[in-house]
């Protein structure tokens, strides 16, 4: 990287750590000639960094703070589907648990990393509370401030059972009502606790879900719908994980992949083991070029630097969804001011060696990325992933 650019990055990293700028993507484009535009669920977003579904997208205050910091998108906490009478086949996932512990968790080979230990599961308040949050998200989306997408866990039957269509219909219809204008965007969660459940012991059962759940959602929706399927890390080998990706029918986007499940402790966990597994599986999977691909990809798992973000992008992910990195002790962030969201963006984008800008400039220096119209484009990294295969 030219000395002048390194000096500019160091200067920006230092000053933005004290005061986070508005519209940082415009600034990056003007100053570094780097276009960070990305995509999630077919929607154009100003950069690839979003928040994964969980405890950090439970209320309007959190959404407002994310919009103010300039996050690209947020997936709301997972709602457990219900029918018109309030019956929920997946009620066991709607348990209440407040205590979360942010802990160090070394990987199997000893690298220090972070995980969040938490025994809770899905949304534990009422459906009408959730719809109020969806409406707040819709307003932020329409205002062009933050793309907000609901997440749902719908009924998953055993092989000899049929789908509870009434739950699919009712939940999807009320979400569409709250969203009001097509298309409805929705993420379907297959969670790590599901991976750890006896329900997911059977490969044929999992594959049936992936083949049938997106068409079920589509059939249940009163308006055109785009569906992201967030795949769990099943307790099977890498080849089966790829089989799951290929088996998923009718999803616009695959989110790869939710946390690992520690069956001894009965807990979901993340850290380096999670990103190692996810990147390994994405290496095995061969995404088709964007024009012919059935599903685009969004990455999740242990993204704590721009470099790790680029590892997912190089395997075809057009956006990423973080959770743990938003929860670290404040002393772990280089920025000394601003919300956690701003501090995360600061680290991921501007770090002079580990950040996204530095990483993209390095790809250019290595001949792996070329300028078009004088600019480097983040999405070209994901397109290259397709070309090289």
Ligand X SMILES: Cc1cc2nc3c(=O)[nH]c(=O)nc-3n(C[C@H](O)[C@H](O)[C@H](O)COP(=O)(O)O)c2cc1C
Fill in the per-residue mask, 272 to 311: x = in contact with ligand X (CB under 6 A), - = not in contact. Answer: --x-------------------------xxxx--------
Cα 60 to chain centroid distance, Å, stands at: 19
The secondary element (H helix, E strand) that includes residue 71 is none
248 binds ligand X (CB under 6 A): no
Can you tell me the distance from the alpha carbon of 67 to that of 167, in angstroms, rounded to the nearest whole number?
A: 32
Residue selected from 322, 342, 361, 376 as contacting ligand X according to rule CB under 6 A: 322
228 binds ligand X (CB under 6 A): no
232 binds ligand X (CB under 6 A): no
Do residues 168 and 81 lie in contact, with contact meaning Cβ atoms separated by under 8 Å? yes
In the 8-state DSSP scheme, what is residue 235? Answer: S
- Minimum distance from CB of 366 to ligand X (Å)? 27
Q: Which is nearer to ligand X, 270 or 316 (CB)?
A: 270
Of 200, 360, 42, residue with least CA distance to 368: 360
48 binds ligand X (CB under 6 A): no
Can you tell me the distance from the alpha carbon of 67 to that of 290, in angstroms, rounded to the nearest whole number?
A: 28
Do residues 18 and 279 lie in contact, with contact meaning Cβ atoms separated by under 8 Å? no
Can you tell me the distance from the alpha carbon of 379 to that of 108, in angstroms, rounded to the nearest whole number?
A: 32
3-state secondary structure of 209: helix
Q: Which is nearer to ligand X, 116 or 381 (CB)?
A: 116
Can you tell me the distance from the alpha carbon of 206 to that of 178, in angstroms, rounded to the nearest whole number?
A: 30
- Minimum distance from CB of 189 to ligand X (Å)? 4
Q: Which is nearer to ligand X, 226 or 377 (CB)?
A: 226
Residue selected from 37, 55, 59, 107 as contacting ligand X according to rule CB under 6 A: 55
Can you tell me the distance from the alpha carbon of 325 to that of 356, in angstroms, rounded to the nearest whole number?
A: 15
- Minimum distance from CB of 124 to ligand X (Å)? 10
230 binds ligand X (CB under 6 A): yes
122 binds ligand X (CB under 6 A): yes
Residue selected from 321, 340, 356, 385 as contacting ligand X according to rule CB under 6 A: 321
Strand-pair partners of 153: 80
70 binds ligand X (CB under 6 A): no
151 binds ligand X (CB under 6 A): yes
In the 8-state DSSP scheme, what is residue 198? Answer: G
3-state secondary structure of 379: helix
Q: What are phi and psi of 208, to 5 degrees?
A: -65, -45
149 binds ligand X (CB under 6 A): no
- Using CB under 6 A, count the residues that bind ligand X: 27
3-state secondary structure of 266: coil
66 binds ligand X (CB under 6 A): no
116 binds ligand X (CB under 6 A): yes
189 binds ligand X (CB under 6 A): yes
Can you tell me the distance from the alpha carbon of 14 to that of 183, in angstroms, rounded to the nearest whole number?
A: 41
Task: Please report, as ranges, the residues that interact with ligand X according to CB under 6 A.
Answer: 52-55, 77-78, 100, 116, 118, 122, 151, 189, 191, 230, 258-259, 270, 274, 300-303, 321-325
């Amino acid at each position: 990287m030219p000395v002048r650019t390194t000096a500019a990055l160091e200067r920006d990293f230092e000053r933005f750590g004290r005061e986070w700028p508005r519209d940082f993507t415009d600034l990056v484009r003007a100053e570094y000639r780097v276009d960070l535009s990305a995509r999630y669920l077919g929607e154009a977003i100003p950069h690839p960094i979003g928040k994964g579904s969980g405890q950090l997208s439970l209320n309007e205050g959190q959404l407002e703070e994310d919009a103010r910091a300039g996050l690209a998108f947020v997936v709301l906490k997972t709602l457990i589907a219900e029918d018109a009478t309030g019956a929920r086949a997946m009620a066991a996932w709607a348990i209440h648990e407040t205590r979360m512990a942010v802990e160090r968790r070394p990987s199997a080979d000893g690298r220090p990393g972070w995980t969040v230990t938490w025994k809770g599961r899905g949304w534990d308040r009422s459906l009408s509370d959730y719809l109020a949050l969806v409406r707040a998200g819709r307003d932020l989306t329409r205002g062009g401030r933050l793309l907000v997408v609901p997440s749902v866990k719908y009924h998953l039957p055993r092989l000899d059972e049929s789908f509870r269509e009434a739950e699919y219909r009712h939940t999807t219809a009320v979400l569409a009502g709250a969203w009001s204008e097509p298309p409805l965007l929705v993420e379907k969660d297959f969670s790590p606790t599901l991976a750890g459940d006896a329900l997911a012991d059977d490969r044929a059962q999992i594959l049936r879900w992936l083949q049938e759940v997106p068409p079920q959602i589509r059939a249940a929706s009163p308006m055109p719908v785009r569906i992201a399927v967030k795949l769990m890390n099943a307790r099977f080998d890498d080849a089966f994980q790829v089989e799951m990706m290929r088996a998923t029918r009718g999803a616009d986007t695959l989110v790869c992949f939710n946390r690992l499940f520690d069956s001894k402790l009965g807990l979901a966990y993340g850290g380096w083991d999670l990103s190692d597994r996810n990147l390994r599986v994405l290496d095995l999977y061969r995404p088709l070029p964007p024009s012919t691909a059935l599903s685009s990809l969004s990455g999740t798992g242990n993204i704590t630097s721009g470099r790790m973000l680029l590892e997912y992008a190089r395997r075809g992910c057009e956006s990423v969804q973080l959770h743990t990195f938003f929860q670290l002790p404040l002393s772990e962030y280089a920025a000394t001011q601003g919300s956690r969201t701003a501090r995360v963006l600061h680290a991921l984008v501007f770090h002079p060696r580990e950040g996204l800008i530095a990483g993209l400039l390095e790809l250019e220096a290595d001949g792996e990325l070329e300028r078009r119209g004088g600019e480097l484009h983040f999405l070209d990294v994901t397109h290259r992933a397709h070309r090289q295969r």
